Amino acid sequence: DSYLNEHYTFDNFVEGDCNRLGRSAGLAVAQRPGVTSFNPLMIYGSVGLGKTHLIQAIGNYIKNTQTNKFVLYVTSEKFCNQFINAIKNNTLQAFTNFYMQVDCLIIDDVQFLAGKEKTQESFFHIFNHLHQSGKQIIMSSDRAPRELAGMQDRLLSRFKWGLTADVQQPDFETRIAILQKKLQADGIYIEDKVIEYLAHSIDTNVREMEGVIVSLMAHASLNRKEIDMDLARTTLKNIVVDNEKEVTVDSILDAVTSHFDVNMSDLKSKSRKKETVFPRQIAMYLMKEFTNLPLKSIGYHFGGRDHSTVIHAVQTISIMLETDKEVEKTMQKLYKYFNRVRV
């Protein structure tokens, strides 16, 4: 398995000034992996601007056109975890051999390797082997290589051997094109002026644009109406304006107790009953998300628990959110208590 998501393609990646260099370099690499001078290819830029989409599109292109090539997509986080496990299980050689067999290695969010000396060392050796064998390496990062503090110089200097291209915030016209493409893919028709209104209003990143489309569709089907200017305005108002509203400890406690129908005193007690533990962990998670309280203060609201309990709760819920659709749905509902949309 290459661990690629086949939905990320060049066809559904909208080109604009914001990503032109990265996209065209990416296409060149996709057509002739390991052969162009764009090796490694490093795409950087802030969150939600299409880095993962682009590097996976390259992988999918290679996988589909050169079926004999072993393409592998991995996040740096996963790479780190695999490395740690390999040490634990005494399988470091197998780990290294596996990565050295790859024809095209796509490694996402390399900033995650910062400060992880041993993992960087291992990546360095794999990188060298692949590069010397004419294999393609593609990376993404949330910042420019020169801003990657905690990364070994020898690794940074290799990142610069190939091409480094940034992705930026899409401009107005590109935002329109992206919205049109997404709506078209979902088979939704919206008037041009509504699209323009949306493109004007959401100027942060593409992921947020997608979030707004999802909310629009939800609102439209809920109210059994079309996505018109009216609906667009109210939807955006909920997302953009009410987002500013502060979420407090008390509002979180209220939302959690009423949603799960638990007593405030139980929630704040040391009870280990399943019916209270889960809501309590959710409440801790929400406090971590929405308030600036230090973990210790969060623990204080729940019978004076220490910060490690809070960390555990946050981790537990984070994992559940990733793996359990019901928990994700519950969280969506809780966000609605605060007039927020989880995107």
CB under 5 to 8 A by kind: which of ligand ADP, Mg ion, none does 35 bind? none
Using the contact rule CB under 6 A, the part of the chain among 6-14, 125-133, 185-193, 303-311 near ligand ADP is 6-14
Site string for ligand ADP, 204-223 (x = CB under 6 A): --xx--x-------------
107: three-class secondary structure by DSSP: strand
Q: Which residue is nearest to ligand ADP (CB)?
A: 50
195 binds ligand ADP per the rule CB under 6 A: no
**Shortest distance in whole angstroms from residue 165 CB to ligand ADP:** 13
Residue 231 DSSP label: H
Site for ligand ADP in 165-194 (CB under 6 A): 178
Please identify which residue in 52, 60, 164, 309 interacts with ligand ADP, judged by CB under 6 A: 52
Please identify which residue in 34, 42, 51, 288 interacts with ligand ADP, judged by CB under 6 A: 51
Nearest to residue 302, comparing CAs of 288, 322, 316? 288
In the chain, which residue ranges form alpha helices assigned H by DSSP?
20-31, 51-65, 76-88, 92-100, 117-132, 153-159, 172-185, 192-201, 206-222, 229-236, 249-260, 264-267, 274-290, 295-300, 307-323, 325-337
**Shortest distance in whole angstroms from residue 2 CB to ligand ADP:** 17
13 binds ligand ADP per the rule CB under 6 A: yes
19 binds ligand ADP per the rule CB under 6 A: yes
Q: What's the rounded Cα separation, in Å, for the pair 245 and 95?
A: 48
Q: Which is nearer to ligand ADP, 188 or 277 (CB)?
A: 188
Q: What's the rounded Cα separation, in Å, for the pair 134 and 333?
A: 50
**Shortest distance in whole angstroms from residue 218 CB to ligand ADP:** 17
Q: Cis bond leading into 40, ω under 30°?
A: yes
By CB under 6 A, the count of residues binding ligand ADP is 15
* b/e code 9-21 from CB counts within 10 Å (16+ = b): ebeebbebebbee
215 binds Mg ion per the rule CB under 5 A: no
CB under 5 to 8 A by kind: which of Mg ion, ligand ADP, none does 207 bind? ligand ADP
Please identify which residue in 4, 14, 283, 331 interacts with ligand ADP, judged by CB under 6 A: 14
Q: Which is nearer to ligand ADP, 43 or 284 (CB)?
A: 43
Q: What's the rounded Cα separation, in Å, for the pair 261 and 330?
A: 13
Nearest to residue 138, comparing CAs of 31, 15, 33? 33
Q: Which is nearer to ligand ADP, 140 or 281 (CB)?
A: 140
Q: What's the rounded Cα separation, in Å, for the pair 32 and 63?
A: 12
The angle subtended at Cα 175 by Cα 170 and Cα 180, nearest 5°, is: 150
CB under 5 to 8 A by kind: which of ligand ADP, Mg ion, none does 14 bind? ligand ADP
Q: What is the 3-state secondary structure (H, E, C) of 146-168?
A: HHCCCCCHHHHHHHCCCEEEECC
Q: What is the four-CA torsion angle of 101, 54, 144, 49, rounded to 10 degrees?
A: -150
Residues 175, 203 contacting (CB under 8 angstroms): yes
52 binds Mg ion per the rule CB under 5 A: yes
141 binds Mg ion per the rule CB under 5 A: no
CB under 5 to 8 A by kind: which of Mg ion, ligand ADP, none does 48 bind? ligand ADP
Binding site for Mg ion (CB under 5 A): 51-52
Site of interaction with ligand ADP (CB under 6 A): 12-14, 19, 47-53, 178, 206-207, 210
